[in-house]
Structure 1
Amino acid sequence: MWFRTSPMEASQTMTNNSLIVERSVPVPVLPEEETPGGSLFLSKLDQATNFFASIVYSFDRSDPNMVDVMKQTLSKVLVHYYPLAGRLAKTSQWKLTVDCNKLGVPFLEASANCNIEDLGDMRLLDPSFLEKLVYRSFTESTLEVAPLLTAQVTKFRCGGFTLGIVINHCMVDGYSMKNFMNSWAEIARGRPSSFVPCHDRTILKSRVPPQITSTSDCSIHMSDVSNLMALYEDEQIAWKSFHFDREKLETLKKMATSDGQKSNSSSFIALAALVWRARSMALNMKPHQLSKLLLSVNFRSKLKPPIPRYFGNAIVQACCLCTAGELIDEPFSSTVGRIKKAIERVDEDYVWSWIYYLQTYQFNFFSLSSLLLTSWQRFDYDSVDFGWGKLRTLGTGDLPRTTCAFMPDGSERKGIVVVMGLPLSAMNTFEKLLQFSTREPETPSMRSRARL
């Protein structure tokens, strides 16, 4: 078989009620040194992502001083990343800003009644496990008092530990989160931070009036002609992870040329094409149903001048849009070509037009016929070493239902784990479609295989 699957309900060996985590009262951690106060401007990209995300970093080893080291070095790294210790506020024009006056990051020490291996595949955590490994403040619903970042360190009987992070997405994208974690890990190992973040978010401030010079299909309204809402409401949502090793990814890339058309595809694009097609088919979308694929693109290097040290959200969505009938019946290489062209369209004009779109229009990123694909492959796992060894796994259980995550897999991180949630009947079809579609070079249509 081309891949392994791990259903969420079977990914942990413990039952939901058997994991017991005892944790301390939250203690606010402040920057160790004096930091700038005042307010921090938030761009339209930041304000569009005002929601909380949970991430769990797991490690195989620690020592008796681990909690003290984590707490003390958090205080040190917050000197460089001081806005994370602040709180959201609103201007007189009701726009969000960050109050940087040192309110602190809640930090908790916790202990679990099991070995870390007992939790199974921690890339895909059961929600009842996740809520025990991260601290979500009860004040999250109150804008001005909700912490922007919380950290919980949980010790396991085997000596391993997890670092559970809850962060407001308005503060970071994946690149910014990676740099924050790498800086924290460097300081914990006794080294200076190698990354000096830039906190001037006015770099991405919208011009007045907005100047939209590049069009995007993201703003196109998509009616639910396939009645997907009823399917999602009537059935349980099943989450599974699908594991593709390096060899199988290489073969998948070759499939993009098996129909006679050239396509120098990356593993990411080839797998994105496969997942988008299979999901549209599994949801039994009508041929005239619009199906959209959104792919997160880091644009720091695409601006003039580039903004490599920018700390904040510098991500836009490349967009592919067509009918489900077109998507399913076209050659696999054509789908790959669609995705490549969409990513290549992301230039400086596209970025500024995206920001102006956010200022002018409301996007529905999470319509059920859309798939938002996010990649965690470039999170630089091996640099997240606090002094007791490299990262074991990075995981979550906190993804929106129309989001698919690509995570690195294998000892060298060369494979990809696809984390996906679908209504149960659609998930069963999705898994079969992946099996049929990857056993041999793809034929022009997936529709006939779906009937098998």
Structure 2
Amino acid sequence: MAKVTILSTETIKPSQPTINSFPSIPLSLLDQLAPPIYTHILFFYSTYLPEIPEKLKSSLSRSLNYFYPFAGRIREIGKGKLHVECNGEGAEFVEARVTGATMESIRHGPVVEIFNELLPIKKSLFDFQESGPLLAVQISVLDGGGFVLGVSISHLIADGASLSMFLNWWSRTARGFAENLSPATLPPRFDCAAVFPPKEMTHMTIHKRSSEDSGSNQDVAMRCFSINSKAMEMLKQVGGTTTKSTRVEAVSALIWRCIKRVQTGNRLSISHVVNFRKRMAPVLSNESIGNMWINVEIPDLGIETESTGGIEQSIRRTVQGVNEQVVRMKVQEMWDGREGKGKEQREKGTEGVEWIFTSWCRMGWYDCDFGFEVPDWVACGITAMKNVCTLMDAKDGQGMEVWLWMAMEEMERIESDSEFRLFVTSS
């Protein structure tokens, strides 16, 4: 049986004092509305060298000079408005050793049993009132060789794109590149609140939000499934349309069809997460750190369209139609729903099951080379949320990995679904 032993825990602070010009940074409205959880990710490397921990610590310290809010703490300044106090308190760095498990046994075993122990933060819910670290890192050395780098970051300050930028910056810093700034390595920008200023939230609203989003995940199964490049090409042709589907469209449509066959709710609602940085006018910088995303519901065109590419086309039209007007409308809907203004409309609707799809593809996770090698595998961490599908690139960049969080009994049914089994294998 695998056992993870914590060897040390320390705080990594920026190598230079935080600039006084920015003693605190306000969270944006979308940061306020983001799930109060930690986002987790795991990187598996096949080679371990004794100097790796110190190299990671020193490069992390230098990276925090640019990502200085990640070394701060969240404070409430009144009426529910939250700020990141850029006080340089630091990020948490944990060193651990794993016995009784190899990289292969972890990758192909029951992921939930070991993943949580490989993460520096062992919980999903982030409570800003605890004044805990916004960023934490754990390096776990494997007995059979190699190590796992686990990263946890508060969703209140970073979405997936922000986390990807930070990790790639950190890895370039470890290789000696990031600090020699060029047009290809622009520094991060913490300007989201200028686009979506924060609003007042009552203590009751904040508490209600945390209670709703924490949820119990005792009946939630977490699985990773793989679609290789050959199966992917077959899947992209399934719709039969003149325009071949993208990988994300094709896989999203497959999972949608399978979920419809196994879910027990009266109505299935599917929403896709859309990064809107390049959909605003003027466009926002890719270096903008924070929550720059919305959920857009994909219209269900009916079962008769499923074999003719209807789902893929519906996903494409909806996502391509996101512009600044749509973004601002969706943000207002999110705010109204959080404040309870949308309660009457929701109660009039048909009760059903809501699924969230998000793509972490083409974010450069496999580019996170800290100077020794690229990762062998990149994996999602545990989440308290249910009915979530996260899509990630396979290492070859052609296939894809599908991470599902769903009810255990429905997970068993989807694993037995004939179409699912045609394209998908367990990782």
Which TM-score bucket, shorter chain as reference? 0.7 to 0.9
Please tell me whether the aligned partners of residues 89 and 144 of structure 1 are also in contact (alpha carbons under 8 angstroms).
Answer: no
Q: Is the 8 A contact 2:226 2:400 kept in 1?
A: yes
1:290–1:236 CA distance, 2 compared to 1 (3 A): closer
Q: Secondary structure at the match of 2:167?
A: helix
**What per-residue deviation string (whole Å, max 9, x for no partner) do you get for residues 219-243 of structure 1?**
xxxxxxxxxxxxx999954433332
Q: 1:91 aligns to what SS in structure 2? A: strand
| Aligned ranges 1:44-59 → 2 under 5 Å | 44-49=29-34, 50-59=36-45
Displacement of 1:392 after TM fit? 1.4
Segment of structure 1 superposing worse, 240-249 or 26-35: 240-249
Whether the aligned pair in 1 keeps the contact of 2:30 and 2:196 (CA below 8 Å) is no
Which residue of 301, 305, 313 maps to 1:330? Answer: 305
Specify the code of the residue in structure 2 equivalent to 1:252: L
Change (3 A) 1:390 1:347: same
Q: How does 1:198-209 map to 2 (within 5 A)?
A: 198-206=189-197
1:435 deviation in Å? 3.0
> 1:67 Cα deviation (Å)?
0.7
Note if 1:297 corresponds to 2:283. no
Pick aligned residue for 1:353 from 326, 329, 333: 329
Matches within 5 A, 1:54-69: 54-69=40-55
**SS of the counterpart of 1:121?**
helix
Per-residue CA shift, 1:389-447, capped at 9, x if unaligned? 001111134132210111222x51211122223334423332333437858xxxxxxxx
Query: What amino acid is aligned across from residue 176 of structure 1 in structure 2?
Result: S
Q: Does 1:241 align with 2:224?
A: yes
1:390 aligns with 374
Unpaired runs of at least 5, structure 1:
1-17, 209-231, 440-452
CA distance in 1, matches of 2:6, 2:416: 42
Matches within 5 A, 1:99-118: 99-114=85-100, 116-118=102-104
Query: In structure 1, what residue type is equivalent to 2:193?
Result: T
Contact persistence 1:25–1:108 (CA under 8 A): yes
- Read off the aligned partner of 1:146 and give its amino acid letter: G
Which SS does the other structure have where 1:331 is aligned? helix
Q: Secondary structure at the match of 2:177?
A: coil
In structure 1, the residue matched to 2:67 is: 81
Gapped runs of 5+ residues in structure 2? 180-184, 200-214
TM-score normalised per structure 1: 0.78
- C-alpha distance in structure 1 between counterparts of 2:217 and 2:392, whole Å: 29
Q: Flag as ranges the 4+ runs of structure 1 deviating above 6 A.
A: 232-235
Aligned residue runs from structure 1 range 334-413, under 5 A: 334-362=310-338, 369-399=353-383, 400-409=385-394, 411-413=395-397
2:187 is paired with a residue whose SS is coil
**Secondary structure of 1:255's aligned partner:** coil
Residue 298 of structure 2 aligns with an amino acid whose one-letter code is C
Contact 1:58 1:160 in 2 (8 A): yes
Q: Structure 1 residues 235, 87: CA separation in 2 closer, same or farther (over 3 Å shift)?
A: closer
Whether the aligned pair in 2 keeps the contact of 1:299 and 1:316 (CA below 8 Å) is yes
The CA deviation string for residues 103-123 of structure 1, in whole angstroms up to 9 with x for no partner, is: 11111111222454243327x
The one-letter code sitting in structure 2 at the alignment partner of 1:327 is: G
Q: Would the alpha carbon gap of residues 78 and 157 (structure 1) be closer, same or farther in structure 2, given more than 3 Å must change?
A: same
Task: Report the secondary structure of 1:330's partner residue.
Answer: helix
* Bigger radius of gyration among the two: 1
User: Could you tell me whether the CA contact under 8 Å between 2:32 and 2:198 is conserved in 1?
Assistant: no
Deviation per CA, 1:291-311: give whole Å up to 9, x if none: 211111111111122222211
Matches within 5 A, 1:51-450: 51-114=37-100, 116-121=102-107, 126-136=111-121, 141=127, 143-193=129-179, 194-206=185-197, 236-257=219-240, 261-285=241-265, 289-308=266-285, 309-322=287-300, 327-332=302-307, 333-362=309-338, 369-399=353-383, 400-409=385-394, 411-435=395-419, 438=422
Letter in 2 for 1:381: W
Structure-2 separation of matches of 1:338 and 1:131: 36
Amino acid at match of 2:132: A
Query: Structure 1 CA distance, aligned partners of 2:131 and 2:15?
Result: 21
Q: Is the 8 A contact 1:170 1:312 kept in 2?
A: yes
Deviates most, 28-37 or 427-436: 427-436
Aligned partners of 2:78, 2:277: CA distance in 1, in Å? 30
* Paired letter, 2:251: L
Moved more, 326-335 or 342-351: 326-335
Query: How many residue pairs were aligned?
Result: 387
Q: TM-score, normalised by structure 2?
A: 0.83
SS where residue 32 of structure 1 aligns? coil
> What amino acid is the match of 1:276?
W
CA contact (8 A) 2:28 2:198 kept: no
Question: Whole-Å Cα distance in 2 between the matches of residues 132 and 207 of structure 1?
Answer: 35
- Whole-Å Cα distance in 2 between the matches of residues 385 and 353 of structure 1? 39
Post-superposition Cα deviations, 1:249-293, rounded to whole Å, max 9, x if no partner, equal 211121111xxx5443212101111111210220144xxx33211
The answer to whether the Cα contact below 8 Å between 2:111 and 2:222 also exists between their aligned partners in 1 is no
Q: Deviations over 1:300-351 (max 9, x none)?
A: 11112222221111111221144xxx53343331112211111112111111
Counterparts of 1:67 and 1:315, CA distance in 2 = 34
Q: Distance in 2 between matches of 1:134 and 1:431?
A: 27
